[in-house]
Amino acid sequence: MPVCFGRRIVRTCKGLWNGKGGGFRCGPQGSESDMVLITRKIEFSASHLYHNPAFSPDENRRVFGKCNNPHGHGHNYTLEVTVAGEPDPVTGMVLDLKELKEILEREVMQRMDHRFLNYEVAELKGQIPTCENIARVIWDLLDPQIKQGRLHRVRLYESADLFADCYRNGAAC
């Protein structure tokens, strides 16, 4: 049975919150924290296939089904990137959204849009490019680039009814 359709997957990522106070929380204004979550969404198209070289051809077909087709298949991915932080009192913004757009263009679009993920994305080399693994790679690419606020969640939709979530240190608020 194909593993890339019809399931909701929650994938947590490594990483620790090192912000002030030593903890992570979010809540309504006036609560202990004035943290706000802001999300930017982009879309990209890419192709992939699922294949584990440790499996026999039969095992690959049994485990991955149609996703093991050697010629691959495509998806229109939707990526939601959420950053947490307190709005700057001068700009009113958690972070410069133009800068976030540039980071997403550089780190995700240029790397993955219209690519065959198995062969053209170095960060996925040696991994099966499932929705979970792609989301994890995107987390690792974006986290060091975001200097204002802290990366809170990466949500990657492979289709309307399937997405993977990455959170810092597995925490969700």
DSSP assignment letter at 161:
T
DSSP assignment letter at 87:
P
Q: Any residues with CB less than 8 A from the CB of 63 and at least 6 apart, and which?
A: 3, 50, 52, 55
The residue (of 95 and 112) whose beta carbon lies closer to Zn ion is 112
By CB under 5 A, tell whether 3 contacts Zn ion: no
Single residue of 1, 3, 4, 57 touching Zn ion by CB under 5 A: 4
- Among the residue ranges 4-12, 53-61, 78-86, 88-96, the one whose residues contact Zn ion (CB under 5 A): 4-12
Q: Has 67 been annotated as catalytic? A: yes
Residue 37: CB minimum distance to Zn ion, A: 29
Which is the catalytic residue, given 67, 107, 131, 166?
Answer: 67
The residue (of 4 and 79) whose beta carbon lies closer to Zn ion is 4
User: CA 86 to CA 64: how far, in whole Å?
Assistant: 43
Strands 73-85 and 115-116: unpaired
**Tokens representing residue 128 in the block:** 């099966």
- Among the residue ranges 1-9, 81-89, 114-122, 162-170, the one whose residues contact Zn ion (CB under 5 A): 1-9
User: CA 87 to CA 92: how far, in whole Å?
Assistant: 5
Q: What are the residue numbers of the active site?
A: 67, 114, 158
Q: Which residues in this chain contact Zn ion in the complex, by CB under 5 A?
A: 4
